Structure 1
Amino acid sequence: MAKPIKHLQTLVRQIEEPLPGVKRLVLADEDDWRLPAFKPGAHIDLHLGNGLVRTYSLCNDPSDCRRYVVAVKREEVGRGGSRHIHDVLRVGDSIGVSVPRGGLELLPQSMNVFIAGGIGVTPFISAILALEREGKANYILHWASAGEPSLIDMLGPALKAGRAHLYNTHTGNPPDIRAILQACGEDTKAFCCGPGRMLDAFEAAVAGWPEHRKHVERFVAPKIIPMSTDQPYEVVLAKSGRESVVLPEVGLLATLEAMGADVSVSCGGGICGACRTRWLEGPPIHRDRVLSPEEREHEVIVCVAGCSGRRLVLDL
């Protein structure tokens, strides 16, 4: 059986800087073949070289499968991925990208409310472009920026129709998240992506909502604190038969890396899904913010996972 494709090579066709500190990349196949399809708000991993793998939301219309568009804000105190993109990457460079994964489950008829902070608007731009193309007006965007918004040129129809509300926090107040959500009907689904304070306010406001009516996109992984009750366990790679003991102070991911397991890692904090892996025996302890309860029945995000038994068998 052939191994599934984990990533493909693309060329950087275009680099724009719509606002200082933000780079927008257009990636395409070197022969202009169609790229793998994606859902609104899906993510891809960029393989930047020197072991740097970073996850970004696609912000173009999913119908446009001859290119992937991502926007990257420069983070001076980040882990180095954004600085590499801003300082090193050039038009014409070859770059590996993963097959797109994930995406936003939009309501086809009821209202979709998007609340974004800064560059966190990227997955919602993709969703809005898809809804606009389908002739649907069942969405509203509340977008806060510390200054001028960076990707405003991608939201022309939404702005013209009055379905995008902008908040410049340098000159005014941020959106009142609780008031926005209290005004929503019972069939509304709310989405949020932005800085930690915004996400915390959103999660507090929707704490009593059913899970299918709320969605949070995080681009900074929360710190994982090992539990004092964690115990050593054995991890087994089913395809190779390799085995090792996972110590609580080492963790599953570091153990897999030491074993030479073929696992892609990006965020290292359970928010991007790059390292999702099938598990065969366990059960694992799930600490991610990616998988649904149904997906957890057979998949695990290994960068933050543990095991509640004595043995974890992975399909690796």
Structure 2
Amino acid sequence: MGDARVFTEGNTAQLLSQPVRHTGYDFAVAIDRIEAEADGVVSLTLTDPDGGPLPAWTPGAHLDVLLPSGRQRQYSLNSDPADRRQYRIAVRYIADGGGGSREIHEQLRVGDRLSVRGPRNAFAFIEAPQYLFVAGGIGITPILPMVVAAERAGTPWRLMYFGRSRARMPFLCELALLIGGDVVVRPDDEFGVPNPRMIFEQTSTGAAVYVCGPPPLAEAARAVLSLHDPTASLHTERFSPLPVRDGPPLLEVDL
């Protein structure tokens, strides 16, 4: 695991008073730290090469990372939005994937520079009277800053975190330090494969429900909440786009 610090404030107020020099969409960052967070998962801490503040972001945001090979990948920011000295992303090694995770795990080193775009947010964190967070595996990455935000605001929250085993679930040490809500950790090798329907039947009335993980989690959330609690607001982020069903074999797009 990585270190057990949740987030550090340091001289954040002083840093926020400095002007942001990044005026373009693309900008450079340097890899300050690479840490093992779980089996097959590393985190990269990214900083401004000149020591300046990084662009502001909000929970749920992600970066487009342009790798030295030319590959482009998107990774959720999971550090502290109030600390603009650094960003942190986490990457799970996928042996049979498109090569981006292998490049990060096997080739990148501390001191390397990367070009990034963003941050952008398509998974915005809204104000709500209470929250239910549901994360599957590496899906904890966009959820973690949201949990911390709810904790700081004093808003009731519950996190249900699923994975194959504790050894493969990143940021357990950081989550253990959060005492303002309820953290439920359920690895499959200890509790069996979860029934997604049972997760969302426990949703409190009017809660904001945030889900990030395998497609069955989001599909179950939509099905259950529409019947169990239509007052809940559902927010999801997928690892891949929805499949196209019954679509035309060819599309022509003019730009």
Q: Does 1:146 pair with 2:164?
A: yes
Instruction: Judging by fraction of residues, say which structure has more helix.
Output: 2
Name the SS of the counterpart of 1:62 in structure 2.
Answer: coil
Once the two structures are superposed, the pairs formed by residues 149-164 of structure 1 within 5 Å of their partners are 149-158=169-178, 160-161=179-180, 163-164=182-183
Aligned counterpart for 1:11 among listed residues 3, 12, 30 = 30
Moved more, 14-23 or 207-216: 207-216
Q: Equivalent residue for 1:214?
A: 234
Once the two structures are superposed, the pairs formed by residues 1-316 of structure 1 within 5 Å of their partners are 5-102=24-121, 104-134=123-153, 136-148=154-166, 149-158=169-178, 160-161=179-180, 163-207=182-226, 213-224=233-244, 227-228=247-248, 248=250, 251-252=252-253
- Whether the 8 Å CA contact 1:177–1:205 is kept in 2: the answer is no
Q: 1:138 to 1:185 in 2, by over 3 A?
A: same
Q: 1:214 to 1:57 in 2, by over 3 A?
A: same
Q: Which has the larger radius of gyration?
A: 1
Shift of residue 23 of structure 1?
Answer: 0.7
Shift of residue 167 of structure 1?
Answer: 0.2
Distance 1:53 1:32 in 2: 25
Distance 1:174 1:101 in 2: 33
Distance 1:132 1:106 in 2: 13
Shift of residue 121 of structure 1?
Answer: 0.7
Q: 1:9 to 1:131 in 2, by over 3 A?
A: same
Distance 1:181 1:212 in 2: 10
TM-score relative to the length of structure 2: 0.81
Shift of residue 108 of structure 1?
Answer: 3.0
Question: What letter is aligned with 1:216?
Answer: T
Distance 1:109 1:58 in 2: 21
Distance 1:138 1:107 in 2: 14
Question: What letter is aligned with 2:184?
Answer: H
Shift of residue 133 of structure 1?
Answer: 3.1
Q: Equivalent residue for 1:259?
A: none
Shift of residue 151 of structure 1?
Answer: 1.4
Unmatched 5+ residue regions in structure 1?
Answer: 231-247, 253-311
Root mean square deviation, CA, Å: 2.4
Q: Equivalent residue for 2:17?
A: none
Distance 1:97 1:87 in 2: 19
How big is each residue's C-alpha offset from its partner over 1:188-208, in whole Å with a ceiling of 9 and x where there is no partner?
A: 111111122333322322345
Distance 1:84 1:221 in 2: 23
Tell me: higher relative CO, structure 1 or 2? Use CA pairs within 8 A at least 6 residues apart: 2
Name the SS of the counterpart of 1:165 in structure 2.
Answer: strand
Distance 1:55 1:211 in 2: 32
Unmatched 5+ residue regions in structure 2?
Answer: 1-22
Shift of residue 180 of structure 1?
Answer: 3.4
How big is each residue's C-alpha offset from its partner over 1:192-230, in whole Å with a ceiling of 9 and x where there is no partner?
A: 1112233332232234566970011111233446723x8
Question: What letter is aligned with 1:218?
Answer: R
Distance 2:55 2:81 in 1: 10
